[in-house]
């Protein structure tokens, strides 16, 4: 009984801010404090989402956006993790590449979008490229940091027992750096949703970013807010999936916590 009460209280506490936000959002345009032409109440936004569902357009936009974001994110995970492991493990390699990477890191993905379009066109490759670029950096930096902050005592202990460099890398470095790597991947997931909007605003005929921009251009404001809300839920879904994967690959941390 106590557990149920505690659970209900926890749910209520976590929901309070969202409920208050929705209530205020509904009241502002309804009371005329904010012009409904610029801020549609949540009830109208829900109606717009319902029309999207009934027409079948929701599935098309969501799957298109999800496919684009996952394509760019997966490429960023592979490239960022591999390069981050190399940079963190080989100090000379890092000293050679670091100045160039620091320079590239300052260039926004949105600033490079015209370059991607010039080389890759306005099709899917340029959209994947901008998502890849935006997601790549947090994954790379967190991977490098994770490798560098592995406890040296663990490495020295493995060496003292005659472990090879390959064994140390896969059995000591990689597991120890995994939490930091997954932090970078989850940050990359958030960045990829942000870049997705910009990617879909040019040369697209489907996707949530396209839907938001198109709704704004034809002044269908409730539809525009519906697209924004759906995009936020897509980001939450992606973060939840990445958190599940992280939990699966870092289950050993729970064992350490329990022993502590």
Mean pLDDT confidence for 78-101: 90
Q: How many domains does the chain have?
A: 1
> Residues 1-39: pLDDT tens digits?
556 666 666 666 677 888 898 999 899 999 888 888 888
User: How far apart are the C-alpha atoms of 105 and 87, rounded to whole Å?
Assistant: 15
Mean pLDDT confidence for 30-57: 89
Task: Quickly tell me which residue has 């935006």 as its tokens.
Answer: 134
> Residues 136-145: pLDDT tens digits?
999 999 999 9
Task: For Cα atoms 50, 51, 55, give the angle at the middle one, nearest 5 degrees.
Answer: 120
Ranges 35-49, 150-164, 245-259: which has the least confidence? 245-259
Question: Residue 29: inside a domain, yes or no?
Answer: no
> Residues 178-201: pLDDT tens digits?
889 999 999 999 899 888 888 887
Domain span holding position 116: 55-259
User: How far apart are the C-alpha atoms of 243 and 41, rounded to whole Å?
Assistant: 32
Question: Residue 20: inside a domain, yes or no?
Answer: no
| CATH number, position 209 | 1.10.3720.10
Question: Residue 81: inside a domain, yes or no?
Answer: yes
Question: Residue 124: inside a domain, yes or no?
Answer: yes
Q: What one-character-per-residue DSSP string does 24-56 give? A: HHHHHHHTTSS-TTTS--HHHHHHHHHHHHHHT
Residue-wise over 140-149: b if at least 16 C-beta within 10 A, else e? bbbbbbbbee
User: Taking phi first (over 0 means left), then psi (-120 to 50 degrees means alpha), and beta for anything else, what does residue 195 get?
Assistant: alpha
Question: Residue 5: inside a domain, yes or no?
Answer: no
Q: How does the average pLDDT of the chain come out, rounded? A: 85
Query: Containing H/E element for 60?
Result: helix 57-89
Question: Residue 26: inside a domain, yes or no?
Answer: no
Question: Residue 225: inside a domain, yes or no?
Answer: yes
How would residue 247 be classed by pLDDT, with cut points 50, 70 and 90? Answer: confident
Question: Residue 237: inside a domain, yes or no?
Answer: yes
Which pLDDT score is estimated for 260? 46
């Amino acid at each position: 009984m106590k557990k149920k009460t505690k659970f209900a209280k926890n749910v209520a506490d976590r929901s309070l801010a969202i409920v208050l936000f929705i209530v205020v959002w509904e009241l502002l345009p309804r009371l005329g404090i904010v012009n409904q032409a610029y801020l549609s109440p949540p009830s109208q936004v829900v109606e717009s989402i319902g029309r999207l569902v009934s027409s079948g357009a929701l599935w098309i936009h969501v799957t298109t956006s999800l496919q684009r974001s996952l394509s760019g994110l997966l490429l960023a995970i592979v490239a960022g993790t591999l390069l981050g492991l190399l940079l963190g493990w080989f100090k000379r390699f890092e000293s050679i590449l670091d100045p160039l990477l620091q320079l590239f890191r300052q260039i926004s993905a949105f600033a490079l979008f015209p370059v991607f379009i010039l080389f890759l066109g306005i099709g899917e490759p340029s959209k994947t490229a901008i998502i890849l670029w935006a997601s790549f950096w947090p994954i790379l930096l967190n991977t490098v940091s994770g490798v560098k902050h592995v406890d040296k005592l663990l490495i020295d202990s493995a060496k003292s027992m005659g472990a090879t460099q390959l064994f140390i890398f896969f059995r000591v470095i990689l597991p120890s750096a995994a939490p930091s790597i997954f932090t970078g991947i989850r940050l990359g997931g958030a960045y990829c949703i942000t870049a997705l909007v910009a990617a879909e605003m040019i040369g697209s005929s489907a996707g949530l970013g396209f839907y938001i921009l198109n709704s704004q251009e034809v002044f269908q404001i409730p539809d525009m807010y519906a697209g924004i809300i759906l995009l936020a839920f897509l980001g939450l879904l992606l973060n939840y999936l990445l958190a599940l994967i992280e939990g699966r690959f870092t289950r050993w941390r729970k064992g350490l916590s329990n022993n502590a």
